[in-house]
Chain A
């Protein structure tokens, strides 16, 4: 993570409409290495929409997003970010190993190799299991393993704790703490409050404007 010191994610005056309804407007924030941004708000308040805008799937109705000072389309943004959304992004007919190998081919190699990453998310020994035989929590851990095997500075996570048990949540929190300590950043939505006290946490509370 050679350039992680200078990396920053900056959103300036974002607004988003959905079906003629204003979800948020004039939303600005800056995220530096080692920081995590937690998006809070009721269902339908625009958390997922904001994440999808940050991923570039949606265009913001106003405002821009900058990565390391330049607009995301003109920067190395897609080389430096990883997203885990509601949909796992894994193929249920393929095995754990095949899925991770494909994820690796789409990005560039990261901190860990596949073996170590599976060990980290406690899926060691599941290499050759087709994904449809895994439980919901195991699938979630598999999609999070993708974060470890590819190069990335910014994690964008949509409800990463869904269907994880208490131990799984602790596990992901510790992986996130490690990522942040190494100069990474994270943006996430969660109904579960992050329990780590030493986290450099920013919060944005989204309230659907009526």
Chain B
């Protein structure tokens, strides 16, 4: 089906673009690693404190890294007219947008997923919490891309949308942060985490369904 072809084409194109601009794309990952590694230096050699802070530190850094990468989601397409061409495509814009969000997650979320366990060991996160950390990252980093997409779509037409974007998106990120770091925290003390994981899963599934349509509508408004 042509719509599925277009969906794959957009993912492939965005991945290719990310590869060609890899220095720029590595920025959020670099930021993530930097923030997490700076914490022990600032806090000092207090293994117990670091271990207790690990879930929060990792999750706050992941969230800020995601926020840092958001603006690039639609910015260059908006500036070079590619977005106009997508709007004029006979295919549903929301599907194309979903493709872009998935590509964005593959480029910015997936690397965090791969590096996070290493940094968790570095902070001394107990082994029994590793699995949960991974699960929360798998469930919640796509959520960060999805929620962020609405904010970016609303602000991409503004000349200085950066500040506004943070203001719009951060409050929506807070529940994700609470449930994700809470789950890792509980897992570190050996408590069950099903409730938190289920809520994250529910948020992810609803976002997958609910985000593309308003994002497409917001993009149409921004191009106006």
Residues of A within 8 A of B (CB): 52, 55-59, 76, 78-79, 81-83, 85-94, 98, 101-103, 105-108, 146
Contact = CB atoms under 8 A, between A and B. Distances in A.
B85 A91 contact: no
Interface string B9-22: 11001001100110
B202 interface: no
A56 B76 CA distance: 21
Contacts of A58: 224
Contact of B88 (A83, A87, A90, A94): A83
Given A55-B88, A78-B89, A79-B90, A85 B81 contact: yes
User: How large, as a class, is the contact surface on chain B?
Assistant: 20 to 34
Contacts of B76: 91
B9 A101 contact: yes
A89 B17 CA distance: 14
Contacts of B13: 91, 94, 98, 102
A22 to B, nearest CB: 18
Contacts of A59: 224
A57 B221 CA distance: 8
Question: Main secondary structure on chain B at its contact with chain A?
Answer: helix
Nearest to B18: A93
Contacts of A106: 6, 9, 85-86, 89, 91, 96
A52 to B, nearest CB: 8
Contacts of A92: 80
B130 interface: no
B41 to A, nearest CB: 37
Interface in B78-104: 79-82, 84-91, 96
Contact of A98 (B2, B16, B88): B16
Interface string B61-72: 000000000000
Contact of B81 (A79, A87, A105, A108): A87
Contacts of A102: 9-10, 13
